[in-house]
Amino acid sequence: MCLYIHAKFAEYNSTQMKMFIRKQITKPLFHMVIMAMASLLTFSSCSKDDNNNGHSAKTFVLVHGSFQAPYAWQFVKARLEALGQKVVVVELPGHGQDQTDPKTISIKTYRDKVVQAITAINGPVVLVGHSLGGAVITAVTDTIPERVEKLVYLAGFVPANNQSILDLTMMDPNSLFGPALTFSAAGATASIANDKIVSVFAQDGNDQVKKLLMDNNRPEPIAAQADKLILKNPSFAAVPKYYIQTTQDHAVTIDLQKKMISAAGIMNVYSVDSGHCPMLTQPDKVSDLLLQISR
């Protein structure tokens, strides 16, 4: 748009435009209005292009992890939207305000919720999954690969075919996540006490982040952790995949992250020097990486 307007101004140098201006010189008010309108249009169109950095808006679908809910993405969502992007945050069943019976929740339940959210959106999406959300977005992309432009794991689990989150956690002996869990009598949920949840998820968080974790802490449905993913769509392999590592992670350690990245053959790898939840502790960094990846 800027180039178009500048070209139009260049036309003012033509003989025809010079004659026109001479005719209007006796009408200063008219001339001032025309110039003001042109200047405003130039400023508005250039500013819009500058804010978008020359890139069209993408639609990001963000999926949270265990013991969390949409609140975990609030800072990243706000920043991406302020930069002109479209953002949809999915609330997984049994999390946040959702009261789905935990005994009925499986990895397919999570998958179907995200698939439903994506099918309501026009066009392809950049699909992002944190932690447990990594397994969910893997199942989603195997189901509707044509709707996923790029697949981004943020400290996320990356199960291979016939592999579960539980299988992967067994490969992570230094994680603080498992030892922090206590299980309900019925065995359908697990809990982490408030005095442990910060050290597991966000030891690098400020007081606001720590309060968010504790205020939103609720029992986690656990059956989905043992569900093995069955990946059968050949088109899944063609979807570009990206991984954002969290180098100081106490829940999904960097050692396990590197194992999963290698096993999945993911070549596009980025790092944040943070604990398990950089979308809370370093939202600007995560937002900038997502924008970089989306381009």
- Locate the domains of the chain by residue range: 2-51, 59-294
Distances (CA, A) of 82 to 35, 45, 51, 62, 284: 31, 17, 9, 16, 12
Q: Which residue has the tokens 């088109």?
A: 235
Predicted TM-score (pTM) of the model is: 0.82
Name, in order, each residue with C-beta under 8 angstroms of 233's C-beta and a sequence gap of 6 or more: 142, 143, 145
Tokens 């209005």 sit on residue: 33
What DSSP line would sit under 119-137, residue for residue? HTSSS-EEEEEETHHHHHH
Strand order in the sheet with 59-63: 86-90, 59-63, 125-130, 148-154, 241-246, 268-272
| 59-294 is a CATH 3.40.50.1820 domain | yes
Q: What are phi and psi of 51, to 5 degrees?
A: -65, -35
Whole-angstrom CA distances from 6 to 11, 49, 131, 266 are: 9, 14, 49, 44
* DSSP helix/strand/coil, 17: helix
Q: What is the DSSP string of 223-258?
A: HHHHPPB----GGGGGS-EEEEEETT-SSS-HHHHH
Residue 280 to residue 212: CA distance in whole angstroms: 9
Q: How far apart are CA 180 and CA 192, in angstroms?
A: 6
Return the residue matching tokens 């019976």. 101
Helix (H, G, I), strand (E, B) or coil at 268: strand
Distance between CA 253 and CA 199 in Å, rounded?
13
At 244 the pLDDT is 99
Annotate 87-111 with b (16+ C-beta within 10 A) or e (fewer). Answer: bbbbbbbbbbeeeeebeebebbbbb
Q: Mean pLDDT for each 10-residue chunk of the chain (295 residues)?
A: 36 41 41 38 36 71 98 98 98 98 98 98 97 98 98 98 98 98 96 98 98 98 97 97 98 98 98 98 98 97
- CA separation for the pair 88, 116 (Å, rounded): 12
Nearest Cα to Cα of residue 266 among 294, 236, 235, 242: 242
Summary count for the chain: helices (H), strands (E): 14, 9
Residue 166 burial (C-beta neighbours within 10 Å; 0-12, 13-18, 19+): middle
Spacing of C-alpha 204 from chain mean position: 20
Q: What is the pLDDT of residue 56?
A: 80
Rounded CA gap, 277 and 201, in Å?
6
Q: What is the per-residue pLDDT for 105? A: 98
Question: Tell me, what's the pLDDT at 55?
Answer: 58
Q: Is the dihedral of CA 140, 145, 146, 152 positive or negative?
A: positive
Cα–chain-centroid distance for residue 101? 27
